[in-house]
Chains A and B, each alone.
Chain A
Amino acid sequence: MKKLLFLTSTLFVFILFACEKELPKNDLNAFKNNTTTVDIYEPHHHETHDKKLAHFPTLEENLLPILREKLRPKDIARIRNSFVSSHFDQEKRSFVFLLETHYDYVFKLHIITNEEYQIENINVVKIDLFTERINQGFTLDEMISRVSFIQIDQYLSFKGGGSVDQIEECLELVFDNTNPSGPLNKPPQGTGGGTVINLPADECMILVTVCGCSPNHTGGSSNPNCTCTKPDKTMFINTCNETIAGGPSNKDLDYWECVSILLHACLLNEMDLLVRRLKNCSLDPNDIDPNGGGNVSQNPADKAFCTNWLSYQTECLPDFNTNEDYEDWASFYFNYPNLFESTIANSSDCMDEDEFECYAALIDFDIKHELNLTQQEGSIILEEVTTCGEGFEEEATSILFTMKCAQKASSEEAINLEENMIACFGDINCYDAQNSKFSITLYAEQPISNSRDNWSGNPLLNNIRVGHTYLELKSLHNYESNNLVFGFYPQWDASIRSGAIPMEIRDDGRKPYTVAVTIDLTCEEFQEAIAKSLEATQEDYNLKDYNCTSYGIEVANAVGLGVAYTKSPWIFGNTTFGVSVNPGDLGEDIKLLTEGEITLGGIAPRSNCQ
């Protein structure tokens, strides 16, 4: 009886420690500190604008309950994902998070903590945008560089119910939304002593001129949009780091480039932009870039977006019309961009409210816990939950946990061979390939160099090596050299008794080999090698039937390499587990070839065209 008791308890202990448990949250910080760079956790540096709230776990723990009382989950998620925007003060321990950006002011959350990062003071501050820009180090300077800017007033007039037919160019402007319909053709000079603007041929800077006071101030500015008496102010925005077609000194900024710059400079908020984008599809369905002049080819991405949106609107939102509708859908777009785009892409499957609720719950769950769920994981959760309202999170957590526990030890590194082939060799046309060169290399990494043994190591020590066979296709075409090194693998763990396992192709660049042979090919043979490489991926991986060596030989022999197809038995202990080709035999057979360039030992080059 006692033995049974001990046996049972011992078994219990084994089972208890059998799984490598995920670390409980209390231990997580210790884990992090041991395994990551120190600068991303409790601050060791003064600069914090590259850090997020999550990097200050104690503060986060104290702050979240407060935020949850005041804000919606998606707003909290956004704050958690936004960067701490100001300098961290080691003594005061003050933190600033950007809450909300409007076109003429921002809301910021100011927090002061004690040494333990417990909150001592917290408040929301409204800052006018100009002050905010100046605080961030923008230069007020009379040495003005060239002006390239969008007519932001026209853009913003949309918010007042106006329409935007065309933004003709990016030019100097007044940042003023009080009288959007007024003319704005040059930077203004306030009667209080505004700046005379000269425009040297400089680059990398754009200019925004703002009224010297709040727009509603009454006064005598000569600028009809700027009713104030103080000097106008000029703000510079450095565009050197912006992606601008034609380089940063290009005067003729594309409309969306301007918008992008405005966004980066916090002069627009994204909601404004999205409402505008949706509405503009109706105004100009073929080309929502007002600078594009109707040339759809310059803006294909926007055209595709509008096509989807208008089609979805017609099929699924027959009563869609009001500004409120636009704002609702822009909000959907803003908070769930991927879901929005996949939704409007399928106008034959209109999303109903319940479905939307489920998707929204899933996305909030994903953002809140920073899970980065895959599409497959998300689909499984949505299929299995019984509610998308209260209780969703608990159910989703449980499903996710089960899913992760059941996950097989599979590879995450597969490449799409067809896409890679197209990327590497898609532009080869054999009609103009007389001066081009093509080759195929078959690499064998033997488990024991210069031996036909098909495995090495000790099963009891779990260090068996079976070697590997892989291929390299290489082209020199139109003075461009491309190569792709790839091999055939099982998708997950394979034992000696495993049958067929789905295959996957992996990039084998920088992999060692013991023997390799390279033969030159004609263009037609090269195309045949590509076709065969793709065709042979229809096979499953089977260690004893169709393995990496079978694949390599099949492709190489299809274009005339002529290497022997030598098979050897898989013998472990006294048992034979089938017979198959293998890298050991292949390596020795390659040495017997009379054609081709044979190389002994080395490391394969990296693939250069993925």
Chain B
Amino acid sequence: MKYFLCFLLSAILCFIVVALLFFNKNNFVIIDHVNFQTKKKEFTFTVTAAKGRDVQMMERRFQDFKEENPEYKNLKLYRTTPINYLKIGKWVGYRANPAWTYPKLPFWKR
């Protein structure tokens, strides 16, 4: 029990240190990009939520694309930008921003 508590406290301490190192509230990213594509890049889109290019806009554009190109109606969108857990300032965004919930396409499959 004693060691468990010690481990827990160390973890919390470590978290704070890392948070201070990597998340400076005066230097947070305002405009970030999340890239998306279909498997063979028939359609690409970059979500820049801060500037209103959000997932809804992407889905609208993707729908337009599929309507214009019925042969691609079964294509799916994949995220190509990786999640970087070192960027602690983005952790909340990773949970809250729907863009990050899209499946990721590994680079060797692009």
A interface, CB within 8 angstroms of B: 2-3, 6-7, 10-11, 14, 17-20, 22-23, 28, 31, 34-37, 369-372, 404, 409-413, 445, 455, 459-468, 487, 489-490, 492-497, 506, 508-512, 543, 548, 572-573, 575, 603, 606
- Contact mask for chain B residues 44-73; partner A; CB cutoff 8 A; 1 contact, 0 none: 111011111100010011001000000000
The reply to whether B6 and A14 contact each other, CB–CB distance below 8 Å, is no
Q: Which of A18, A459, A573 contacts B85 (CB 8 A)?
A: A18
Asked if A462 contacts B26 (CB within 8 A), the reply is: no
Whether B25 contacts A511 by the Cβ 8 Å rule is: no
Closest chain B residue to A445, Cβ basis: B52
Query: Does B86 reach chain A (CB closer than 8 Å)?
Result: yes
B binding-site residues for A, Cβ under 8 Å:
6-7, 10-11, 13-15, 18, 25-35, 37, 39, 41, 44-46, 48-53, 57, 60-61, 64, 74, 76, 78, 80-86, 89-93, 96-97, 103-104, 106-110
Task: Give the residue of B64, B96, B110 whose beta carbon is less than 8 angstroms from that of A462.
Answer: B96
Q: Are A461 and B10 in contact (CB under 8 A)?
A: no
Query: Count of A-B contacts with CB under 8 A?
Result: 161
CA distance A409 to B52 in the complex (A): 18
Question: Are the C-beta atoms of B85 and A6 separated by less than 8 Å?
Answer: no
Q: Tell me whether A496 and B27 are in contact (CB under 8 A).
A: yes
CA distance A369 to B83 in the complex (A): 24
CB-CB nearest in chain A for B109: A370
Query: Measured between alpha carbons, how far is A592 from B108 in the docked complex, in Å?
Result: 53
Chain B residues with Cβ below 8 Å from A493 are: 29, 31-33
User: With contacts A11-B14, A370-B109, A465-B50 known, is A409 near B74, CB below 8 A?
Assistant: no
User: How far apart are the CA atoms of A509 and B26 in the complex, in Å?
Assistant: 33
Q: A34-B103, A412-B46 are in contact. Are A3 and B27 (CB under 8 A)?
A: no
**A463 vs B104: C-alpha distance in the bound complex, in angstroms?**
21
A35 touches which one: B26, B48, B78, B82 (CB < 8 A)?
B78
State in angstroms the CA–CA spacing of A130 and B4 once bound together.
77
* Known contacts A3-B6, A371-B108, A461-B96: A468-B52 contact under CB 8 Å: yes
Contacts of B49 in A (CB 8 A): 463, 465
B76 partner, pick from A31, A37, A413, A606, beta carbons under 8 A: A37
Residues in A whose Cβ lies below 8 Å from that of B18 = 11, 14
Q: Give Cα distance in the complex from A7 to B13, angstroms.
A: 8
Contact B106 A466 (CB under 8 A): no
Q: How far is the CA of A445 from the CA of B110 in the complex (A)?
A: 33
With a cutoff of 8 Å between Cβ atoms, the chain B residues found around residue A19 in the complex are 82, 84-86
Given A462-B97, A606-B64, CB of A23 within 8 Å of CB of B48: no
**Which A residues touch B26, using CB under 8 A?**
496-497, 572-573, 575
Residues of A close to B108: CB separation below 8 A: 22, 369-371
Distance of B80 from chain A, by nearest CB (Å): 8
Inter-chain contact A411/B33, CB cutoff 8 Å: yes
A10 touches B14 (CB 8 A): yes
Residue of chain B at shortest CB distance from A10:
B14
Known contacts A409-B32, A493-B32; is A20 also within 8 Å of B84 by CB? Answer: yes
24 contacts between A and B (CB under 8 A): A3-B6, A7-B14, A14-B18, A19-B82, A23-B106, A35-B78, A37-B74, A404-B107, A462-B89, A462-B92, A462-B93, A463-B49, A463-B92, A464-B30, A465-B49, A466-B30, A490-B31, A493-B31, A493-B32, A493-B33, A495-B30, A497-B27, A511-B57, A548-B51
- The CA-CA distance from A490 to B85 in the complex, in Å, is 23
Min CB–CB distance B95 → chain A (angstroms)? 9
